[in-house]
Amino acid sequence: MRMLLLACQFAIRLASLRAPRALRRPWREEWLTEVGYAYRDLMARGESRRTTAWDLARFSVGAFPDAADLGPLSDFDFRAPLAHPAFPVAAALTLLALLGASTDGLRGCRNAWAGPAGERGEELALVARSSRVMGMEATPSANDYAAWKAVGARIAGFAMEDATLKVTPEFFGVLGATPRTPFAFLGRTIKTVQTLEGPSGRVGVLIRPRTGGRWDRPGRLPTPNGSVAGLHFIGRRMREPLIPPAAGLLLSLAAGLTLAPRRPRAVGYFLVKTALIEGVFAACWAEIACRVPIPPSGGHTAMTGFLLPAALSIGCGAVLWMSLRDHERRCPVCWRRLAKPVRIGSHASTMFESPREEILCLKGHGALVIPERILGGAAPADWIAFDESWQDCFV
């Protein structure tokens, strides 16, 4: 029987390794004491050796699930970093670093900010005519190009087919760059340059508008039939994708200030967190938009005129909503995420026991009571602060 007791003690000591470290020693001593009581009780009742061995073995095996019920094997809670107030900031900075590494340091945004290459690239413009289809613009006709060329404009025609660029002889003179391939033009990488002789149909028009004379109206160019064509300066057109994400970021922060709590520390934390998360989304959107090739007309396509702006609006709104929801469920003292949600109340007694949800701060600072939304609306969330007498309930 002595060997049986030693085996039971060894099983209990082995099971104690599954218990949390803070509770391991008292739990082990309690179980060893219970084994001794069980052995003396069985011997006092005159049970056989076989029955005693079976009961003690079954009792010792029960120590393993009991130790597992005490808590996790390690004292480290893997969900704790997710609830820490620095987690959103660290996650946003990590995503921004990954975005920069995968895009060669936001190369699309940097190229757009630098503007067109070549001598006095900011003076270059693309000519567009209205296509009368959903407000889109198209390239001018060959007749318009010939008329502008006849009056001595610094103008060149071009046509693009994938990585091949067909240009008129004076194209690189107007562009102000040497004809070396490959080179970037309107967001495309040109690998082959061919000569465009006698352009016909629709043709892209590159121009350096004159100041004064017939072309002194900014952004306008007269046509042979008396109408006016639009000018899209390439430098401005390349930087256009950088404006909407910056505006969306500022509008989101302004909207968040009206909805977030007005406590100074709360506002500061909310602004930092939201600015970083919105900044990552805005940088990703700007990088994608800057890499979309500019059409030969210099205008906007369905992608840049509708799909990308819609994605930006929806994305900024979604990020702001998630940031506000995350901020609502954080402790106003330590800024950790609240946990242990409990639903109380009943729909059958909305007057005295209305349904609501209570979430605790695991540091013992208080609880947040969130009323459930019903047809008549819902009261705002109420924070209940705990006094020092509650601290013993939290580890």
pLDDT digits (tens, 9 = 90+) for 255-308: 988 887 666 677 888 889 999 999 999 999 999 998 888 888 887 877 888 899
Cis peptide upstream of residue 179 (ω within 30 degrees of 0): no
Does position 227 have pLDDT exceeding 80, yes or no?
no
Please report the beta strands in 66-203, taking only residues with DSSP state E, as ranges in sequence order.
Answer: 125-130, 137-138, 155-161, 164-167, 183-185, 188-190, 192-195
Beta bridge partners of 231: 127
What is the residue-averaged pLDDT of the chain?
A: 80
How far, in Å, CA of 150 to CA of 168, rounded? Answer: 15
How far, in Å, CA of 356 to CA of 350, rounded? Answer: 10
Q: Are strands 137-138 and 125-130 parallel, antiparallel or unpaired?
A: antiparallel
Q: Which of 142-146, 207-211, 331-335, 339-343 has the lowest mean pLDDT?
A: 207-211
pLDDT of residue 313: 93
Q: Is the pTM of this model over 0.75?
A: no
